Structure 1
């Protein structure tokens, strides 16, 4: 992959949507999007059980340049990255094993290869108007498969507050809330609700696609509150819009079929999908558990 993407359209005077809070500035093409408070990481919101900013994990005792699975307590399930690319043996791009990065309490240095998501945005991206889908996010450079792109960051909410906010939405409103449900050994269920509508990062501009080029993985660094990291599912060309599947799956035929069958009988809040892919399911995914029965 080589080459660069060039755009001759007018860029706004505000050259950085991230207000200097990311390692790379993110320009906006055309007019400015609605105002929101920028945060590069999750922040505690209403009803949050844990503060995502609180450091609760102990660090590893590694003093070598590279942390190794046999000796590093942050790598109980094996190496996470190879040359900054996520190691994933599953072809459908659904990550099964937990990902822990080294944290501020670790004795390894900042150059440890097990520190990727915490380095923040490293790519040249741009926010732009897509048409029917509203705002979108695209890359201005080529990205290789497995690279970290950005987080989906915002307010961490409790279940009741997530339900309250969703139920207040009008049919024409965009829903930014993501519900992550993780099943752990012993039947434990951990739910995380992230809302970047009012306080969030550039992940809020990512659109859904039934054939996405990104997939989401919960990554833990300082605490049990996961950071929703988005990685490339394939090589992505410069100028391509970045997208992921809002349902949390990646090219899952069984889910696609189910959505198509229930499209006409779905909840009244269900919204049309305009991703334009050949396998488009017609409607955006939605979480029925957050709506009243």
Structure 2
């Protein structure tokens, strides 16, 4: 330790937490950071990343101890106007707690949603209400002092992040995870071993300093926005939203009123979904931790310790808790975690669980004036199951069955009944002048019935450098100058290299925006690197359509200048040579202009943004003996449901016909992002 810097990369040999009595660190001692080795070895099954505690407990304590104890909560009169579900009868058992821990369960119809939260402290120590902090989204300027050169993140940024840094950390983690998944897919599976590239990538990022918000805190986390989604619990660890990789309750230790140390909860992860959640998504009944039966032991009563004790102390202090909802989605193989914002703990009690043992129950109510998150998910589920109709619905499927998944047409803004007529198509219509290579005999695969990475007899694998461009769950690993897919005639029945040929798999929606015409979004959560759609339309000769392009709002032009960005994995984090990094700049064999004005698909409705969440990737594959080029769209990062999908339209290159005027053909940009260029096209 040098000064105030704590080495959080140390690996300590400790016993599992379940065998130890809860011990809270003193105010002068920070708990150690414990981490698995970056790349294992992992035993049979897998060894999860151990929960880690606060690295700055002694720094948090002075701030929190200065806050006066909140006044005793006054009894609230139930409101007859609210129709919220009642607690089940067994939820009203009197808790077997000491007198200072006992609370009478309140009716769920109480007027609790309007109760303001206790003011929270900001990162500079000032007290500010939750309502004001929820609206602050502008990223802070990056501090360049004391930079960790290996990770590019300063010590100050590791303690307190911002939106730009949180996004960068998550992108770097997922890029490394995709690369490790690609390498593992190339190896033969070993029986009895569960491969977890997310654990390996997370451990590497932890040990290399690719993380932020290491200073544990209650309330809002700088740079993490309500509604953000995570596909791995390690992602929440890296950005400081929820530290434990397995436990559902995260907490820190502060000084109490009598100068004694006590824990308070900072965040919880809830994977339960009950009828109460469906009826009122702003109310959560949370079950405490512990008491589960082991192989050779019977179930036991839950104890008022660790996370349970932290929730009880937070109830007395009226301390806000972050809530993350764990959800199962039919479109994904893994659980998805949704950050649902700040909740208040209203009451606690004990009831008998399924095993007949005592379990702690906590009622949490979401703070008002927060953006919708979990409520949006519950509403979408009611649309999918037909329990409620989408408001503003014009057409249930504007593709008329052309796509395998329906695409809704919705207008909640005005009375317009839809966009101008166009012919829906899923492919690009080429003329002979756009033939990219000489005729060939198709895919030419000679790998039998199983395309494998490293099989250079397969021309598709050979063109991609000996590797599949996608992971086993159809996620693009890296941006490339060109991605080569197997043709539809490939004899391999389990070929993993036909992702963009399989059509739209997401439940998309074309909707009317306030100031940008029609837009596109998804009912489903979208994973970083996931395929969204191709740009369908008519391939045009740029020399023949130059004069009409300015009046065509549905043109994709590969010759425009696009803002470069880093998306691929870092060779250093993957322990590879820098020379092995793949170029991300497209290299097209000839200029390609696609017009979707008369013929097109859902891609024609994607609007421009200077900070897009979608990028385009050139993809080619043979069809009917000809090699053609396609433009495919993939997600830059995880995209929550009902978030507008946007990509960068680029800027036209000045030419002699334009007299060098850089504003020729440009349109005003309404993306509203922090880094808006003001125009595009």
Give TM-score scaled by structure 2 length.
Answer: 0.35
Distance 1:55 1:129, change over 3 A: farther
Counterpart mapping for 1:183-202 below 5 A: 183=587, 189-202=589-602
SS of 2:406's equivalent in the other structure is: coil
Match of 1:39 in 2: 425
1:173-228 CA distance string (max 9 Å, x none): x52222224646xxxx5111100111111100000111111110011122432110
Pair 1:127 & 2:510 matched: yes
Match of 1:229 in 2: 632
Match of 2:665 in 1: 269
Match of 1:117 in 2: 500
SS of 2:459's equivalent in the other structure is: coil
CA–CA separation in structure 2 for the residues paired with 1:98 and 1:70: 19
Counterpart mapping for 1:1-293 below 5 A: 1=229, 2=336, 4=377, 6=380, 8-12=390-394, 14-30=395-411, 31-44=417-430, 48-50=433-435, 57-71=442-456, 72-76=458-462, 77=465, 78-82=467-471, 83-88=473-478, 95-109=479-493, 111-166=494-549, 169=551, 175-181=553-559, 183=587, 189-222=589-622, 223-247=626-650, 266-284=662-680, 286=681
Q: Which of the pair has the greater relative contact order for Cα pairs under 8 Å at 6+ separation? A: 1
Distance 1:268 1:73, change over 3 A: closer
The root-mean-square deviation of aligned C-alpha atoms, in Å, is 2.6
Q: Does the aligned pair in 1 maintain the 2:534–2:633 contact within 8 Å?
A: yes
CA–CA separation in structure 1 for the residues paired with 2:433 and 2:391: 42
Q: Does the aligned pair in 2 maintain the 1:147–1:232 contact within 8 Å?
A: yes
SS of 1:75's equivalent in the other structure is: helix
Query: How far apart are residue 115 of structure 1 and its match?
Result: 1.2
CA–CA separation in structure 2 for the residues paired with 1:56 and 1:274: 47
CA–CA separation in structure 2 for the residues paired with 1:105 and 1:70: 18
Query: How far apart are residue 55 of structure 1 and its match?
Result: 7.9
SS of 2:538's equivalent in the other structure is: strand
Which structure has greater helix proportion? 2
CA–CA separation in structure 1 for the residues paired with 2:434 and 2:498: 26
Q: Does the aligned pair in 1 maintain the 2:481–2:618 contact within 8 Å?
A: no
Query: How far apart are residue 238 of structure 1 and its match?
Result: 0.5
SS of 1:226's equivalent in the other structure is: strand
1:125-153 CA distance string (max 9 Å, x none): 10001121111000111011000001111
Query: How far apart are residue 117 of structure 1 and its match?
Result: 0.3
Query: How far apart are residue 15 of structure 1 and its match?
Result: 1.7
Q: Does the aligned pair in 1 maintain the 2:481–2:587 contact within 8 Å?
A: no
1:227-282 CA distance string (max 9 Å, x none): 1000001000001000111118xxxxxx9xxxxxxxxx743531110011110000
CA–CA separation in structure 1 for the residues paired with 2:593 and 2:511: 26
CA–CA separation in structure 2 for the residues paired with 1:204 and 1:48: 23
CA–CA separation in structure 2 for the residues paired with 1:275 and 1:98: 29
Q: Does the aligned pair in 1 maintain the 2:533–2:633 contact within 8 Å?
A: yes
- Give the number of equivalent residue pairs: 251
Q: Does the aligned pair in 2 maintain the 1:59–1:107 contact within 8 Å?
A: no
CA–CA separation in structure 1 for the residues paired with 2:545 and 2:474: 34
Query: How far apart are residue 56 of structure 1 and its match?
Result: 6.4
CA–CA separation in structure 2 for the residues paired with 1:178 and 1:87: 24
Rg comparison, structure with higher value: 2
Which stretch shifts more, 117-126 or 156-165?
156-165
SS of 1:225's equivalent in the other structure is: strand
CA–CA separation in structure 2 for the residues paired with 1:233 and 1:149: 11
CA–CA separation in structure 1 for the residues paired with 2:450 and 2:605: 36
SS of 2:668's equivalent in the other structure is: coil
CA–CA separation in structure 2 for the residues paired with 1:179 and 1:48: 17
Distance 1:66 1:57, change over 3 A: closer
CA–CA separation in structure 2 for the residues paired with 1:56 and 1:34: 41
CA–CA separation in structure 1 for the residues paired with 2:678 and 2:644: 19
CA–CA separation in structure 1 for the residues paired with 2:446 and 2:470: 19
CA–CA separation in structure 2 for the residues paired with 1:55 and 1:36: 33
Query: How far apart are residue 18 of structure 1 and its match?
Result: 1.3
Match of 1:262 in 2: none
Query: How far apart are residue 48 of structure 1 and its match?
Result: 4.1
Long gaps (5+) in structure 1: 89-94, 249-254, 256-264, 287-293
CA–CA separation in structure 2 for the residues paired with 1:225 and 1:141: 30
SS of 2:398's equivalent in the other structure is: coil
